[in-house]
Amino acid sequence: MVHGTSSATDTHLAQILSRSEPAAGGQVLAAGLRDGCQGPLWLPGPVMLRGTVVSFTQTSAGPQVRAWMSSALWQACARETERVNRRTTDAVAQAERDRRQARERRIRYEADRVVAAAEEILKQHDRG
């Protein structure tokens, strides 16, 4: 689950899937939220509950937790992200519809001008 361990600047995002195992030195089973990989993860510090999402960097001394949030907060953020994405998608679609309608109005206007000019030419031709 921990990729790029040779670089101390890599930041990882993982969700804890199991309770801490004291017999295993505090390891938890975690899933990487960027790549979906699962595996054991030793997290120093307080015991994290199942569902907690942690951001950590891999150092020579092991993982160093940078930030964490509860599963409830993570789910709330995910719902808000989905809502924002839907609104953005809807706004982009509306803007495209507005552009298409404006383009169609311009085409109709120009077509009306061409037809009017053709009718005027025909009228002048009939008079002459």
What's the average model confidence in pLDDT over 69-98? 95
Q: Which residues lie below 8 Å from residue 122, measured CB to CB, with a gap of 6+? A: none
- 3: pLDDT strictly greater than 50: no
Query: Tell me, what's the pLDDT at 5?
Result: 42
pLDDT at 47 exceeding the cut of 80: no
pLDDT (0 to 100) of residue 48: 83
Q: Is 12:55 a contact under the CB 8 Å cutoff?
A: yes
CATH number of 11-69: 2.40.50
For the segment 92-112, the average pLDDT, to the nearest whole number, is 97
Domain residue ranges of the chain, discontinuous segments joined by +:
11-69, 71-128
Statement: the pTM of the whole predicted model exceeds 0.75: no
* Residue 99: other Cβ atoms inside 10 A: 10
Backbone angles phi, psi at 39, to 5 degrees: 175, 175
| CA quadruple 114, 118, 124, 127: dihedral, nearest 10 | -150
CB distance 22 to 38 below 8 Å = no
